[in-house]
Amino acid sequence: MFFHITLERNMQLHPRHFGRNLRENLIAKLMKDVEGTCSGRHGFVVAITGIENVGKGLIRDGTGFVTFPVKYRCVVFRPFKGQILEAVVTMVNKMGFFAEAGPVQIFVSNHLIPDDMEFQSGDMPNYTTSDGSVKIQKDSEVRLKLIGTRVDATEIFCIGTIKDDFLGVINDPTTA
Amino acid sequence: MAEKGGKLLPKGTKSSLTSSHSSLGSSKRKENRPTKSKKGRKVQFDSSIGSTKSADKTESMFDKVNLGKGGKEDKTGNAAKKTPVKDPQPLELKIEQELPECAKCMMDAEALHILQGIQDQMVILSEDPSIKIPISFDRGLQYAKSTGNHYTDYQSVRSILEKLKKDGVNEGELCVIANACPETADEVFALVPSLKAKRSKLIEPLKGVLSELVKLKQSS
């Protein structure tokens, strides 16, 4: 789910960046440092939308670097347990399938796929119902519910389920 | 006896033990002979009677103690111990507890609008070779495009959904409803289990909101 949030960060700037373009340099460094990162608390920082406030710089003893407290607004993407979202299937195997929703990877185990769907191996491995009416394969769009999340240094990984009501395939690429 | 039992248990669990012992007296003695309880080896108590967290902890501790001490009695004990399987509680969305208060939940359509604005600016920035556009931005924008295009006008969607706020629906739940594009009220309650408690209060306003949203849906 996307959120618009205000965060604060202490930016250290080398004296060579001081001058007329101090603020621009500070903002450029902030964008370089923060955009694309992820944390467990806020999720992925997708984009910075604006700078609220740049505080007074404090010169560090001994180094000459200056620390500026910067308050900025940004769009973050953070998955939550219990959230419903739509994802695109990227890989299918007998253990389950992998899907992607934005920058987040999701795995749905075969235990969390309805019992009437079975794995079919082949050139295009897929999960299909016994009557062949519903198929989950690469590039299918599925609606799933997140039941767990794990945060690494650079990415967030989730476990999902399609075993509840109103979950499952939305869009089959073969029929589209 | 009680002291021996007490030694094996963490503090604060004695009360549960004593209460369950007394209830056990009538039901359990026919099945099992808790003579061994005197020695502190096996104490079986039905955790379904006044089950508390401490009772469950003691039960797990006694499971470890009972390991490898006779098969039959253990089995019967375990059969008697098993609590009736409860339906697992549906997983509920709890955003407010995990994010700071200043975080504003956005619908995918609103996020799409903002990210597209930033993308236009990025075209200018991308001329500078030192600036790299992060992968998460591309993926976030792609995702917002695929999910945020269900409705023609996100601002009208927002104003329609805001009406549900006075019925106790919070921001996160509103966003889940907007993103999921449900067709019926039953679908809403299935996807957002936290609203089930207010079902009777919400069902009518929800039906009205869904019928208004149908008019705004983009024809695919």
Query: CATH 3.30.1490.120: which residues of chain A?
Result: 2-77
Residues spanned by CATH 2.40.50.140 within chain A?
84-171
Q: State the average pLDDT for chain A.
A: 89
Residue B88's pLDDT is what?
A: 52
A2-77: CATH superfamily:
RNA polymerase Rpb7-like, N-terminal domain (3.30.1490.120)
B176 neighbourhood in chain A, CB within 8 Å: 1, 83-84
Query: Three-state SS string across A80-144, please?
Result: CCCCEEEEEEEEEECCEEEEEECCEEEEEEHHHCCCCEEEECCCCCEEEECCCCCEECCCCEEEE
Chain A: give the shortest CA distance to residue B158, in Å. 15
Report pLDDT for A151: 83
The answer to whether the beta carbons of residues A147 and B91 sit under 8 Å apart is yes
Query: What is the rounded CA–CA span in Å between residue A7 and residue B56?
Result: 42
CA–CA separation, A137 vs A119, rounded Å?
10
* CA distance linking residue A165 with residue B187, whole number of Å: 8
Q: pLDDT (tens digit, 9 = 90+) per residue, B78-108? A: 444 445 554 555 566 666 666 666 778 888 8
Pick the CATH number of A84-171 from 3.90.1640.30, 2.102.10.10, 3.40.50.2300, 2.40.50.140: 2.40.50.140
Name the 3-class secondary structure at B52: coil
pLDDT surpassing 60 at residue B46: no
What is the distance between the alpha carbons of residues A100 and B109, in angstroms, rounded to a whole number? 18
Q: How close B216 comes to chain A (CA, Å)? A: 20
Q: Is B197 on the interface with A (CB under 8 A)?
A: no
Please report residues of B whose CB lies closer than 8 A to that of A31: 131
Of B93, B106, B134, the CB nearest to A4: B106
How much is the pTM? 0.70
* Cβ proximity of B180 and A1 under 8 Å: no
Instruction: For chain A, say whether B118 makes contact (Cβ under 8 Å).
Output: yes
Contact call for A47 and B105, based on CB within 8 A = no
- Quick: pLDDT tens for A147-176: 999 888 778 899 999 998 899 998 666 554
| Partner residues linked to A169 by β-bridges | A142
